[in-house]
Structure 1
Amino acid sequence: MAEPASARLQVAVEVAGIAATPAAIEERAAALLESLRRVVPFQAGWIALLDPERRRLVPLVSPGYDDTVRAYITSPASVAEIELLGLDRARPPMRLRDFPVPPGEVRGWAEYLRPAGFREGLGVGLFAPDGRHLGQLSLNTESAAHPTDAARDLIGVLAPLVAQAVDPLRSVATAAQLVHGALAGIVLTRAGHPLPLPGLGAHPLLGEDSALLAVAAQLADGRAHTVFLCPQAGPDAAVGYLRVTVLACASQPPHHLVAAVLVALPGDLHGLTRRELEVLGLLIEGWTNARIAAALVIAPRTVATHMENILAKLGAETRALAAVRALGQGLYVPRPLTGVQG
């Protein structure tokens, strides 16, 4: 094995190359561990991502451990231990001999790792450039001579590259860049919480407990991509709406990210008025003219006139074709966003 000082540049370039590959996140993690073996001759190691909503670590790769140790790694107790040692904060890597408490008081070490034959180890938290705690990198050795001071320091230099390689938001942010004219965006979690999306700003409609996010979560269920309109204050429909794009997140660890939600200017509304867009949305949801008239407190003949205008503006001969074209062009205004009661 090359000494860490002489291997620094070579390993850093290799790790950066792995981070840039389009491989699955688990494949990148496995490749990273193999590269890091040239720095620390470990017998077991793991890279895991944090599921903050369930307070569990989800291992991407964990070679060298038995099932008992792996079960502990994925338990809430493991997250509590990381917090006890301060590894949930950006800090240098920590070896067993660097612990701020006696190793015997650390359950993971005393009850699982030492009985498994390990004599030293190293752990470092993984953090995104914006400060998000992504997870943990840990390496364990059967020799107390490793990791050396130089190896510990080199792992500290490489940790941000490792974090970049396994950041679950990376693919989401890349997909979001394909949405033309996006003004703001968030990532919706399993529990309905909005997380900042790197590269995009915030917007009041994307805040916690927003009705828009509730609609987005519902429409994202089972769909890879959907577009709709969200009303804003103002009498002019051309500026009174935002176009909302919902991109379902890929099913990858730690599995708590549901969808990216992005807002942009509305684009071409085909001359549809606010009332016509409202009627069109109810048409898409399968409402009859009579039901629309009752809900909007307008005459059935008025609804029929709106329908005639909608068909003409969308170039559709039938209500069904108008609904299909409206959905395809992102002209759907979901009823929960209009205040119309069902």
Structure 2
Amino acid sequence: MSAADRGRISAEIFEIATMHGSVERRAQALLEPLAPLLRYDAAWISLLDPEHRAQRTVAITGYSERVRRFYNGAAFMAEMELIGLNARHRPIRAKDCPVPVADLEVWADYLEPAGFGEGLTTSLLTPDGRYLGILGSHNESSVPPSDEVSDELHRLAPLIAHAVDPMRGITALAGLVGDAAAGVVLTHGGRTEPLPGLPGDPLLDVDSPALANATALVGLHSHVTFLVPCDPEGTDLARITALTCPPQPPGHHRAVVLLSPPPDLHGLTRRELQVLGLLVDGSTNAAIAAALNITARTTIGHIEHVMTKLDAGSRTIAALRAQREGLYIPAGVTFGAAPAPPRSRRRSAPPTPRSR
């Protein structure tokens, strides 16, 4: 392949990598410029779903439905791990496979009976080292791809990985919170993953009360923001913002959770922020008094102060504003001890975060 051909393929892949739209759209578009390089009869791109230990196909052509189903199953994932394609940096051909292909179910029971004789498969790792999934192709010919083709695919793999990286949309979503100082990505399984471009923080650890609150609330709303204490005494507060991730492959990302300095508190005291949290939660005056161990008269006084400071004509309007601006501490958060997990709705704002 000439230098001009390699340059053209690189330019086409770069253009696809900068396209807007879904991961699937970019992945499917990638198969066209790769065809002159790989000269495949079938090809696919898949992304790892770590919570189900499966590769989720995002682009595929030339394979039967039977092969497609196998690619998305646990057995295929196990064989890719056996081969080392969950971490390997160099493409491998069937003839170079560290495990004899005849011993692999994917080859012996699916690919060879379908008429394929060779192939070239590579891991997709981002430039910062995150493993995303697999790009593979197969040919009916038994002649293996050349070293030149393997080397060129190795060179293009980071750009291909960037094109199908699901974190691109998530980091764009996180960019809506311009003052975020830390962040994580919450998964449907309750794990967290690093958010490229932002550090983590102890307040966002997987076992932290703040993340427990965010997890509970993001199940009810696509966008939640609330306050959390940075220390048991509640001397400082920080703001937590949780934004639901758009549905996209591989499908295990649930929300991006961000930590930022608190907004203008309008002179609200810590106790008033707690009262607001209970108002947001829909609590009655009696329930607020019981939850905070205060008298009914004191409760009414706090609510009146909250309404005045927020320029709200009613407790409902005060609750709506608090919910919209994150001016509340979630119901159930206590001080003098580790904050308790939330009851079910929204919460308040945090202090200047500490990066980890």
Shorter chain as denominator, the TM-score bin is over 0.9
Q: Which amino acid aligns with 2:261?
A: L
After TM superposition, list the pairs within 5 Å mapping 1:25-40 onto structure 2.
Answer: 25-40=23-38
> What is the deviation of 1:178?
2.1
Question: Matched residue pairs, number?
Answer: 338
* Distance in 2, Cα, partners of 1:233 & 1:126: 41
**Residue identity in the other structure for 2:76:** S
In structure 2, what is the equivalent of residue 12 of structure 1? 10
Q: TM-score, normalised by structure 2?
A: 0.91
Higher relative contact order, chain-length normalized (CA < 8 Å, sep 6+) = 2
- Does structure 2 conserve the Cα–Cα contact (< 8 Å) formed by 1:40 and 1:146? no
Q: Which residue of 1 aligns with 2:97?
A: 99
Q: Name the residue aligned to 2:251.
A: 255
Amino acid at match of 1:205: L
How many percent of aligned residue pairs carry the same amino acid? 46
Equivalent residues in 2 for 1:79-228, closer than 5 Å: 79-221=77-219, 223-228=221-226
Task: Quickly say closer, same or farther: Cα 1:222–1:42, change in 2 above 3 A.
Answer: farther
Which residue, 229, 232, 256 being the options, matches 1:231?
229
| Structure 2: gaps of 5 or more residues | 344-356
For structure 1, which segment, 78-87 or 288-297, has the greater mean C-alpha deviation from structure 2 after superposition? Answer: 288-297
- What TM-score comes out, normalization by structure 1 length? 0.95
The SS at the match of 2:30 is helix
Q: Measured at CA, do residues 37 and 336 of structure 1 come closer, stay the same or move farther in structure 2, by a change above 3 Å?
A: farther
Matched, 1:280 2:276: yes
Decide which moves more: 323-332 or 46-55.
Answer: 323-332
Name the counterpart of 1:269.
Answer: 265
Q: Supply the RMSD in Å over aligned alpha carbons.
A: 1.7
Cα offsets for 1:229-276 (capped at 9, x unmatched): 112227676xx1111111110101111000000010002011100000
Q: Which residue of 271, 280, 285 corresponds with 1:289? A: 285
In 1: Cα distance, 2:81 partner to 2:312 partner? 60
Query: Any idea what SS the aligned residue of 1:298 has?
Result: coil
Q: Residue 268 of structure 1 aligns to which amino acid in structure 2?
A: D
Contact 2:166/2:249 (8 A) holds in 1: yes
Q: 1:309 pairs with 286, 305, 311, which one?
A: 305
Q: What secondary structure, in the 3-state scheme, does the structure 2 residue paired with 1:198 have?
A: coil
Aligned 8 A contact 2:95 2:144 in 1: no
Q: How far, CA to CA, are the matches of 1:236 and 1:168 in structure 2?
A: 36
Show CA shifts across 1:7-50 (max 9, x none): 22221121111011102111101110111001011011100001
Of the three residues 241, 246, 266, the one matched with 2:242 is: 246
d(CA) in 1 for partners of 2:220, 2:300: 34
